[in-house]
Amino acid sequence: MTATAPVSATAHLSEVDIKEIGRELDQLRDAVTASLGDGDARYIRRVITVQRGLEVGGRILLMASILPPAWLAGTTCLAVAKILENMEIGHNVLHGQWDWMRDPEIHSTTWEWDSATPADMWKHSHNFVHHTYTNILGKDRDIGYAILRVNPEQPWHPVYLAQPVYNAILAAFFEWGIAFYDVELERVWRGEKSWAEALTQLRGVLRKSARQVVKDYVAYPLLAGPAFLPTLLGNFAANVTRNVWSHAVIFCGHFPDGSEVFTEEQLDDETRGEWYIRQLLGSSNIDGSPLLHIMTGNLSHQIEHHLFPDLPSNRYAEIAPKVRDLCQRYGLRYNTGSLVRQTANVWKNIFRLALPGPKPRPADHEAASDTSTVRAAATGR
Protein backbone atom coordinates (compact mmCIF):
# COMPACT_ATOMS: atom_id res chain seq x y z
CA MET A 1 0.00 0.00 0.00
CA THR A 2 1.54 3.28 -1.10
CA ALA A 3 2.04 5.86 1.66
CA THR A 4 0.13 8.74 0.07
CA ALA A 5 -1.07 9.25 -3.44
CA PRO A 6 2.08 10.41 -5.25
CA VAL A 7 1.82 13.67 -7.10
CA SER A 8 2.99 11.87 -10.26
CA ALA A 9 -0.22 9.82 -10.26
CA THR A 10 -2.44 12.83 -10.91
CA ALA A 11 -0.22 15.84 -11.63
CA HIS A 12 -0.56 15.34 -15.37
CA LEU A 13 -4.34 15.82 -15.16
CA SER A 14 -5.75 19.24 -15.92
CA GLU A 15 -8.97 20.66 -14.52
CA VAL A 16 -10.62 19.74 -17.82
CA ASP A 17 -9.31 16.15 -17.55
CA ILE A 18 -10.68 15.77 -14.02
CA LYS A 19 -14.07 17.12 -15.01
CA GLU A 20 -14.16 14.86 -18.07
CA ILE A 21 -13.31 11.79 -15.98
CA GLY A 22 -16.22 12.66 -13.69
CA ARG A 23 -18.52 13.25 -16.65
CA GLU A 24 -17.59 9.96 -18.35
CA LEU A 25 -18.06 7.92 -15.20
CA ASP A 26 -21.36 9.63 -14.39
CA GLN A 27 -22.45 8.88 -17.94
CA LEU A 28 -21.43 5.23 -17.57
CA ARG A 29 -23.37 4.96 -14.32
CA ASP A 30 -26.46 6.55 -15.87
CA ALA A 31 -26.33 4.18 -18.86
CA VAL A 32 -26.17 1.09 -16.64
CA THR A 33 -28.93 2.38 -14.36
CA ALA A 34 -31.20 3.05 -17.35
CA SER A 35 -30.68 -0.48 -18.69
CA LEU A 36 -31.52 -2.38 -15.48
CA GLY A 37 -34.42 -4.76 -15.95
CA ASP A 38 -35.82 -8.27 -15.84
CA GLY A 39 -32.52 -9.94 -16.71
CA ASP A 40 -30.82 -8.43 -13.69
CA ALA A 41 -33.73 -9.35 -11.41
CA ARG A 42 -33.63 -12.93 -12.69
CA TYR A 43 -29.90 -13.03 -11.93
CA ILE A 44 -30.14 -12.15 -8.25
CA ARG A 45 -33.21 -14.37 -7.72
CA ARG A 46 -31.36 -17.26 -9.37
CA VAL A 47 -28.30 -16.75 -7.16
CA ILE A 48 -30.52 -16.70 -4.06
CA THR A 49 -32.25 -19.90 -5.19
CA VAL A 50 -28.92 -21.65 -5.77
CA GLN A 51 -27.56 -20.44 -2.44
CA ARG A 52 -30.59 -21.67 -0.50
CA GLY A 53 -30.51 -24.99 -2.31
CA LEU A 54 -26.85 -25.46 -1.40
CA GLU A 55 -27.55 -24.58 2.23
CA VAL A 56 -30.48 -27.00 2.52
CA GLY A 57 -28.54 -29.73 0.73
CA GLY A 58 -25.49 -29.16 2.89
CA ARG A 59 -27.44 -29.32 6.14
CA ILE A 60 -29.25 -32.51 5.06
CA LEU A 61 -25.95 -34.15 4.11
CA LEU A 62 -24.46 -33.16 7.47
CA MET A 63 -27.31 -34.95 9.22
CA ALA A 64 -25.92 -38.11 7.64
CA SER A 65 -22.35 -37.06 8.35
CA ILE A 66 -21.38 -40.09 10.40
CA LEU A 67 -20.31 -41.19 6.90
CA PRO A 68 -17.13 -39.27 5.91
CA PRO A 69 -18.16 -38.64 2.27
CA ALA A 70 -21.44 -37.10 3.46
CA TRP A 71 -19.55 -34.91 5.93
CA LEU A 72 -17.19 -33.60 3.27
CA ALA A 73 -19.97 -33.01 0.74
CA GLY A 74 -22.22 -31.36 3.32
CA THR A 75 -19.49 -29.11 4.67
CA THR A 76 -18.48 -28.07 1.15
CA CYS A 77 -22.07 -27.25 0.15
CA LEU A 78 -22.63 -25.28 3.33
CA ALA A 79 -19.35 -23.35 2.96
CA VAL A 80 -20.18 -22.37 -0.63
CA ALA A 81 -23.70 -21.36 0.45
CA LYS A 82 -22.32 -19.15 3.23
CA ILE A 83 -19.82 -17.53 0.86
CA LEU A 84 -22.54 -16.78 -1.69
CA GLU A 85 -24.86 -15.43 1.00
CA ASN A 86 -22.26 -13.09 2.46
CA MET A 87 -20.46 -11.99 -0.69
CA GLU A 88 -22.73 -11.96 -3.75
CA ILE A 89 -26.03 -11.62 -1.91
CA GLY A 90 -25.78 -10.05 1.57
CA HIS A 91 -23.02 -7.52 0.94
CA ASN A 92 -24.60 -6.34 -2.29
CA VAL A 93 -28.22 -6.33 -1.14
CA LEU A 94 -27.23 -4.27 1.91
CA HIS A 95 -25.53 -1.78 -0.43
CA GLY A 96 -28.94 -1.14 -1.98
CA GLN A 97 -27.87 -2.62 -5.32
CA TRP A 98 -31.23 -4.33 -5.76
CA ASP A 99 -33.53 -1.74 -4.14
CA TRP A 100 -34.68 -0.63 -7.61
CA MET A 101 -36.60 -3.94 -7.89
CA ARG A 102 -38.95 -2.82 -5.09
CA ASP A 103 -38.94 -6.39 -3.79
CA PRO A 104 -39.39 -6.22 0.00
CA GLU A 105 -37.57 -9.55 0.43
CA ILE A 106 -34.47 -8.41 -1.48
CA HIS A 107 -34.07 -4.90 -0.11
CA SER A 108 -31.38 -3.12 1.89
CA THR A 109 -33.90 -2.13 4.59
CA THR A 110 -35.14 -5.68 5.26
CA TRP A 111 -32.24 -8.07 4.57
CA GLU A 112 -30.49 -9.62 7.58
CA TRP A 113 -27.46 -11.63 6.58
CA ASP A 114 -25.73 -14.74 7.87
CA SER A 115 -23.07 -12.83 9.83
CA ALA A 116 -22.38 -11.89 13.43
CA THR A 117 -22.66 -8.18 12.55
CA PRO A 118 -26.18 -6.69 12.63
CA ALA A 119 -27.02 -5.35 9.19
CA ASP A 120 -27.77 -1.81 10.38
CA MET A 121 -24.40 -1.45 12.11
CA TRP A 122 -22.54 -2.77 9.09
CA LYS A 123 -24.36 -0.43 6.73
CA HIS A 124 -23.16 2.55 8.74
CA SER A 125 -19.53 1.49 9.12
CA HIS A 126 -19.19 0.16 5.58
CA ASN A 127 -21.65 1.90 3.28
CA PHE A 128 -21.29 5.34 4.85
CA VAL A 129 -17.89 5.60 6.57
CA HIS A 130 -15.77 3.40 4.31
CA HIS A 131 -17.33 4.30 0.97
CA THR A 132 -17.43 8.02 1.76
CA TYR A 133 -13.86 8.27 3.05
CA THR A 134 -12.26 5.49 1.02
CA ASN A 135 -8.55 5.24 1.92
CA ILE A 136 -8.44 8.59 3.74
CA LEU A 137 -5.97 8.21 6.62
CA GLY A 138 -7.68 9.19 9.86
CA LYS A 139 -11.18 8.90 8.36
CA ASP A 140 -11.46 5.43 6.80
CA ARG A 141 -11.33 2.99 9.72
CA ASP A 142 -11.03 0.08 7.30
CA ILE A 143 -7.34 0.94 6.78
CA GLY A 144 -6.00 -1.81 9.03
CA TYR A 145 -9.31 -2.31 10.86
CA ALA A 146 -7.91 -0.46 13.91
CA ILE A 147 -5.55 -3.35 14.74
CA LEU A 148 -3.23 -3.79 11.74
CA ARG A 149 -0.44 -1.63 10.35
CA VAL A 150 -0.87 -1.83 6.58
CA ASN A 151 0.70 1.49 5.63
CA PRO A 152 4.04 3.15 6.52
CA GLU A 153 2.13 6.32 7.49
CA GLN A 154 0.70 4.49 10.51
CA PRO A 155 2.97 4.98 13.56
CA TRP A 156 4.70 1.76 14.58
CA HIS A 157 3.97 0.16 17.96
CA PRO A 158 5.47 -3.03 19.45
CA VAL A 159 2.03 -4.69 19.31
CA TYR A 160 2.39 -4.82 15.51
CA LEU A 161 5.19 -7.37 15.89
CA ALA A 162 2.44 -9.94 16.43
CA GLN A 163 0.23 -8.83 13.54
CA PRO A 164 1.11 -11.76 11.23
CA VAL A 165 -0.22 -14.07 13.95
CA TYR A 166 -3.32 -12.14 14.88
CA ASN A 167 -4.12 -11.41 11.24
CA ALA A 168 -4.20 -15.18 10.63
CA ILE A 169 -6.56 -15.54 13.60
CA LEU A 170 -8.64 -12.64 12.27
CA ALA A 171 -8.95 -14.44 8.93
CA ALA A 172 -10.36 -17.58 10.58
CA PHE A 173 -12.85 -15.61 12.70
CA PHE A 174 -13.37 -12.65 10.37
CA GLU A 175 -17.12 -12.24 10.91
CA TRP A 176 -16.57 -11.94 14.68
CA GLY A 177 -13.70 -9.51 14.27
CA ILE A 178 -15.82 -7.28 12.03
CA ALA A 179 -18.78 -7.46 14.42
CA PHE A 180 -16.79 -6.10 17.37
CA TYR A 181 -14.79 -3.74 15.15
CA ASP A 182 -18.06 -2.08 14.12
CA VAL A 183 -18.68 -1.11 17.76
CA GLU A 184 -15.72 1.32 17.36
CA LEU A 185 -14.24 0.80 20.82
CA GLU A 186 -11.09 2.73 19.90
CA ARG A 187 -13.26 5.82 19.34
CA VAL A 188 -14.70 5.36 22.84
CA TRP A 189 -11.19 5.24 24.31
CA ARG A 190 -10.32 8.47 22.46
CA GLY A 191 -13.43 10.18 23.81
CA GLU A 192 -15.03 10.51 20.37
CA LYS A 193 -17.96 8.24 21.21
CA SER A 194 -19.93 7.64 24.40
CA TRP A 195 -19.87 4.39 26.30
CA ALA A 196 -23.68 4.44 26.30
CA GLU A 197 -23.78 4.34 22.50
CA ALA A 198 -21.07 1.67 22.35
CA LEU A 199 -22.84 -0.53 24.91
CA THR A 200 -26.12 -0.26 22.99
CA GLN A 201 -24.33 -1.44 19.84
CA LEU A 202 -22.49 -4.13 21.77
CA ARG A 203 -25.80 -5.53 23.04
CA GLY A 204 -27.01 -5.65 19.43
CA VAL A 205 -23.88 -7.56 18.41
CA LEU A 206 -24.29 -10.01 21.28
CA ARG A 207 -27.95 -10.65 20.40
CA LYS A 208 -27.07 -11.29 16.76
CA SER A 209 -24.06 -13.40 17.73
CA ALA A 210 -26.18 -15.49 20.07
CA ARG A 211 -28.58 -16.28 17.23
CA GLN A 212 -25.66 -17.30 15.01
CA VAL A 213 -24.18 -19.55 17.68
CA VAL A 214 -27.51 -21.21 18.51
CA LYS A 215 -28.29 -21.81 14.84
CA ASP A 216 -24.96 -23.36 13.80
CA TYR A 217 -23.70 -24.93 17.02
CA VAL A 218 -26.85 -25.96 18.90
CA ALA A 219 -30.04 -26.21 16.82
CA TYR A 220 -28.78 -27.90 13.65
CA PRO A 221 -26.41 -30.28 15.47
CA LEU A 222 -29.29 -31.31 17.77
CA LEU A 223 -31.51 -31.95 14.73
CA ALA A 224 -28.78 -34.26 13.42
CA GLY A 225 -29.20 -36.59 16.44
CA PRO A 226 -26.41 -39.19 16.33
CA ALA A 227 -24.47 -36.95 13.94
CA PHE A 228 -24.42 -34.09 16.47
CA LEU A 229 -20.64 -33.78 16.70
CA PRO A 230 -19.87 -34.17 12.95
CA THR A 231 -22.58 -31.61 12.16
CA LEU A 232 -21.21 -29.17 14.71
CA LEU A 233 -17.69 -29.59 13.28
CA GLY A 234 -19.02 -29.27 9.74
CA ASN A 235 -20.75 -26.00 10.59
CA PHE A 236 -17.56 -24.73 12.23
CA ALA A 237 -15.45 -25.72 9.19
CA ALA A 238 -17.93 -24.03 6.82
CA ASN A 239 -17.86 -20.82 8.86
CA VAL A 240 -14.06 -20.74 9.00
CA THR A 241 -13.85 -21.39 5.26
CA ARG A 242 -16.26 -18.54 4.56
CA ASN A 243 -14.32 -16.24 6.91
CA VAL A 244 -10.91 -17.00 5.40
CA TRP A 245 -12.26 -16.48 1.88
CA SER A 246 -13.97 -13.18 2.76
CA HIS A 247 -10.83 -11.93 4.50
CA ALA A 248 -8.67 -12.78 1.48
CA VAL A 249 -10.99 -11.10 -1.03
CA ILE A 250 -11.43 -7.93 1.02
CA PHE A 251 -7.73 -7.56 1.84
CA CYS A 252 -6.79 -8.13 -1.82
CA GLY A 253 -9.12 -5.30 -2.82
CA HIS A 254 -7.66 -2.79 -0.37
CA PHE A 255 -4.12 -3.52 0.83
CA PRO A 256 -1.80 -4.72 -1.96
CA ASP A 257 0.96 -2.53 -3.36
CA GLY A 258 -0.45 0.05 -5.75
CA SER A 259 -3.53 0.81 -3.64
CA GLU A 260 -3.06 4.44 -2.68
CA VAL A 261 -4.01 6.19 0.56
CA PHE A 262 -4.76 9.88 0.97
CA THR A 263 -4.72 12.66 3.57
CA GLU A 264 -7.68 14.48 5.08
CA GLU A 265 -6.47 17.68 3.42
CA GLN A 266 -7.14 16.09 0.05
CA LEU A 267 -10.86 16.03 0.93
CA ASP A 268 -10.98 19.84 0.92
CA ASP A 269 -13.27 21.00 -1.90
CA GLU A 270 -13.09 17.54 -3.49
CA THR A 271 -14.98 17.51 -6.79
CA ARG A 272 -16.97 14.63 -8.22
CA GLY A 273 -14.14 13.86 -10.64
CA GLU A 274 -11.57 13.89 -7.83
CA TRP A 275 -13.75 11.56 -5.76
CA TYR A 276 -13.83 9.12 -8.68
CA ILE A 277 -10.05 9.34 -9.07
CA ARG A 278 -9.60 8.56 -5.37
CA GLN A 279 -11.72 5.43 -5.78
CA LEU A 280 -9.69 4.38 -8.84
CA LEU A 281 -6.32 4.84 -7.17
CA GLY A 282 -7.35 3.42 -3.80
CA SER A 283 -8.69 0.07 -5.02
CA SER A 284 -7.31 -3.14 -6.51
CA ASN A 285 -8.92 -5.88 -8.59
CA ILE A 286 -8.48 -9.64 -8.83
CA ASP A 287 -8.24 -11.32 -12.24
CA GLY A 288 -10.15 -14.54 -12.70
CA SER A 289 -13.00 -16.53 -14.19
CA PRO A 290 -16.74 -15.71 -14.03
CA LEU A 291 -17.07 -18.30 -11.24
CA LEU A 292 -14.38 -16.57 -9.19
CA HIS A 293 -16.12 -13.23 -9.69
CA ILE A 294 -19.41 -14.65 -8.40
CA MET A 295 -17.73 -16.29 -5.41
CA THR A 296 -16.09 -12.99 -4.48
CA GLY A 297 -19.42 -11.18 -4.67
CA ASN A 298 -17.86 -9.46 -7.68
CA LEU A 299 -15.52 -7.70 -5.25
CA SER A 300 -12.83 -9.02 -7.56
CA HIS A 301 -13.99 -5.87 -9.38
CA GLN A 302 -13.20 -3.77 -6.31
CA ILE A 303 -12.32 -0.73 -8.45
CA GLU A 304 -15.73 -0.78 -10.12
CA HIS A 305 -17.44 -1.45 -6.79
CA HIS A 306 -15.80 1.59 -5.19
CA LEU A 307 -16.77 3.73 -8.18
CA PHE A 308 -20.38 2.50 -8.22
CA PRO A 309 -21.16 0.80 -4.86
CA ASP A 310 -24.93 0.73 -5.43
CA LEU A 311 -24.92 -0.63 -8.99
CA PRO A 312 -25.82 -4.35 -9.24
CA SER A 313 -22.70 -6.49 -8.93
CA ASN A 314 -23.52 -8.59 -12.02
CA ARG A 315 -22.82 -5.48 -14.12
CA TYR A 316 -19.24 -4.93 -12.91
CA ALA A 317 -17.74 -7.31 -15.48
CA GLU A 318 -19.47 -5.28 -18.22
CA ILE A 319 -18.23 -1.99 -16.75
CA ALA A 320 -14.64 -3.06 -16.05
CA PRO A 321 -13.25 -2.85 -19.64
CA LYS A 322 -14.66 0.67 -19.99
CA VAL A 323 -13.11 1.76 -16.69
CA ARG A 324 -9.77 0.24 -17.68
CA ASP A 325 -9.91 2.03 -21.03
CA LEU A 326 -10.59 5.34 -19.26
CA CYS A 327 -7.57 4.76 -17.00
CA GLN A 328 -5.36 4.08 -20.01
CA ARG A 329 -6.56 7.21 -21.81
CA TYR A 330 -5.91 9.43 -18.79
CA GLY A 331 -2.70 7.78 -17.61
CA LEU A 332 -4.14 6.41 -14.35
CA ARG A 333 -3.11 3.09 -12.85
CA TYR A 334 -5.63 0.24 -13.01
CA ASN A 335 -4.29 -2.11 -10.34
CA THR A 336 -5.17 -5.76 -10.92
CA GLY A 337 -3.61 -9.20 -10.56
CA SER A 338 -4.32 -12.84 -9.85
CA LEU A 339 -5.70 -13.95 -6.49
CA VAL A 340 -2.40 -15.67 -5.67
CA ARG A 341 -0.36 -12.59 -6.56
CA GLN A 342 -2.55 -10.14 -4.67
CA THR A 343 -2.78 -12.38 -1.60
CA ALA A 344 0.98 -12.89 -1.50
CA ASN A 345 1.49 -9.15 -1.83
CA VAL A 346 -0.88 -8.40 1.05
CA TRP A 347 0.83 -10.88 3.34
CA LYS A 348 4.26 -9.55 2.37
CA ASN A 349 3.11 -6.12 3.57
CA ILE A 350 1.64 -7.55 6.77
CA PHE A 351 5.03 -9.07 7.65
CA ARG A 352 7.10 -6.08 6.50
CA LEU A 353 5.04 -3.49 8.36
CA ALA A 354 5.02 -5.55 11.56
CA LEU A 355 8.57 -4.23 12.01
CA PRO A 356 9.62 -0.62 12.65
CA GLY A 357 9.82 1.43 9.46
CA PRO A 358 10.01 1.87 6.62
CA LYS A 359 9.60 5.57 7.20
CA PRO A 360 7.47 7.32 4.59
CA ARG A 361 9.67 8.83 1.93
CA PRO A 362 9.90 12.65 2.11
CA ALA A 363 8.49 12.77 -1.40
CA ASP A 364 5.37 11.01 -0.16
CA HIS A 365 4.71 13.74 2.39
CA GLU A 366 5.42 16.43 -0.14
CA ALA A 367 3.08 14.73 -2.58
CA ALA A 368 0.13 15.15 -0.23
CA SER A 369 0.56 18.92 -0.16
CA ASP A 370 1.78 19.16 -3.75
CA THR A 371 -1.38 17.45 -4.98
CA SER A 372 -3.48 20.19 -3.40
CA THR A 373 -1.16 22.81 -4.92
CA VAL A 374 -1.45 21.26 -8.37
CA ARG A 375 -5.22 21.04 -8.04
CA ALA A 376 -5.46 24.64 -6.87
CA ALA A 377 -3.34 25.82 -9.77
CA ALA A 378 -5.46 23.88 -12.24
CA THR A 379 -8.76 25.09 -10.84
CA GLY A 380 -7.75 28.61 -9.95
CA ARG A 381 -8.56 28.07 -6.23
Instruction: Check if the beta carbon of residue 284 is closer than 8 Å to that of residue 299.
Output: no
Rounded Cα gap, residues 353 and 356, in angstroms:
7
Average pLDDT of adjacent 10-residue blocks, the chain of 381 residues: 59 92 98 98 98 98 92 98 98 98 97 95 92 92 91 91 97 94 87 90 94 97 96 98 98 91 88 95 96 98 98 98 97 96 96 86 40 36 34
- Quick one: the chain helix, strand, coil %, rounded to 5? 70, 5, 30
pLDDT value at residue 371: 38
Q: Which domain holds residue 297?
A: 1-35+113-381
**What integer pLDDT is reported at residue 192 of this predicted model?**
87
What's the CA gap between 117 and 123, in Å, rounded? Answer: 10
- Give 334's contacts (C-beta < 8 A, 6+ positions apart): 280, 285, 303, 323, 324, 327, 328
Looking at the 3D structure of the chain, how many domains does it have?
Answer: 1
The whole-angstrom separation of Cα 367 and Cα 155 is: 19
pTM score of the predicted model: 0.90
Q: Is 275 inside any structural domain? A: yes
95-118 pLDDT, tens digit per residue, is 999 999 999 999 999 999 999 999
**Residue 304 within a domain:** yes
- The answer to whether the CB of 89 falls within 8 A of the CB of 100 is no
- The answer to whether position 79 is within a domain reads no
**Which of these, 160, 148, 32, lies nearest to 97 by C-alpha position?**
32
| Confidence at residue 359, expressed as pLDDT on a 0 to 100 scale | 66
Cβ pair 70, 61 in contact under 8 A: yes
Is residue 125 in a domain? yes
Tell me if 142 sits within 8 A of 130, measured CB to CB: yes
381: helix, strand or coil = coil
Residue 106 is assigned to a structural domain of this protein = no
Q: What is the pLDDT of residues 301-349, one digit of tens each?
A: 999 999 999 999 999 999 999 999 999 999 999 999 999 999 999 999 9
